[in-house]
Chains A and B, each alone.
Chain A
Amino acid sequence: QVQLKETGPDLVQLTQTLSITCTVSGFSLTTYNVHWVRQPPGKGLEWMGAMWNGGGTDYNSAFKSRLSISRDTSKSQVFLKMNSLQTDDTAKYFCARQLGGAFAYWGQGTLVTVSS
């Protein structure tokens, strides 16, 4: 069955770089698009960016040049890398698989705290 799982650090220092891996199973990254979504504690959902099945990417302009998404299809992994972290980047980060435009399958999310 379709599964996604995020792995990353629990704690990242202020101004440092966040790296999170989304490992998927049950489908191919060359067939489906995978997205990153985050949610600060007690707040709403925010779309961050997408890895297209063809290898291209799209990003939320709110993240400007801080965000980079890449993949390793041989390992069924999608990577999120975001630099210059601030305290308001503290959030649960989810990866999700697209189906018909919407996000139909989600990982459990990984909570990242940015510490000063």
Chain B
Amino acid sequence: DIQMTQSPPSLSASLGDKVTITCQASQNINKYIAWYQQKPGKAPRLLIRYTSTLESGTPSRFSGSGSGRDYSFSISNVESEDIASYYCLQYDNLWTFGGGTKLELK
């Protein structure tokens, strides 16, 4: 089974900051990674798939990159509505979520 190591587990940012979250897979996942945003009590929302493809409605301040085993997700100019938890998901071989990152306001 593929393992996804996501870091950091939590992140504190000021409005307008740029933040970056990383996920490392236990093996090459061929760019088959998606990123989700989840707010308390809600279902996850798909933001990005196939490493860097933004879903319809995802603001351009969100971005993703990476290859092989190493991937990153960034939010430039953090806004108050971005305060949430974020998860990566690999879908190269079955499906595995990363452990999550909770983004808080500093």
Residues on A close to B: CB < 8 A? 35, 37, 44-47, 50, 58, 60-61, 94, 96, 100-104, 106-109
Q: A61-B1, A106-B43, A107-B43 are in contact. Are A101 and B100 (CB under 8 A)?
A: no
Are A102 and B46 within 8 A (Cβ)? yes
Chain B interface, >50% SS class: loop
Are B43 and A108 within 8 A (Cβ)? yes
Chain A interface, >50% SS class: strand
Are B87 and A104 within 8 A (Cβ)? no
Q: What are 7 A-to-B residue pairs whose CB atoms are below 8 Å?
A: A45-B36, A47-B95, A47-B96, A61-B1, A100-B49, A101-B32, A102-B34
Give B28-44 as 1s and 0s: 1 = Cβ < 8 Å from A's Cβ atoms.
00001010101000011
Residues of A within 8 A of B100 (CB): 44-45
Q: A102-B34, A107-B43 are in contact. Are A47 and B50 (CB under 8 A)?
A: no
Interchain pairs with CB closer than 8 A, number: 52
Residues of B within 8 A of A102 (CB): 34, 46, 49, 89, 91
Residues of B within 8 A of A50 (CB): 95
Residues on B close to A: CB < 8 A? 1, 32, 34, 36, 38, 43-44, 46, 49-50, 55, 87, 89, 91, 94-100
Are B32 and A103 within 8 A (Cβ)? no
Q: A44-B97, A45-B100 are in contact. Are A106 and B44 (CB under 8 A)?
A: yes
Q: How far is the CA of A107 from the CA of B43 in the complex (A)?
A: 7
Q: Which of A44, A50, A94 has the most CB of B within 10 A?
A: A44
Are B43 and A104 within 8 A (Cβ)? no
Given contacts A103-B46, A103-B89, could you give 7 more A-B pairs where the C-beta distance is less than 8 Å? Answer: A44-B100, A45-B36, A45-B100, A47-B89, A100-B49, A101-B32, A102-B89
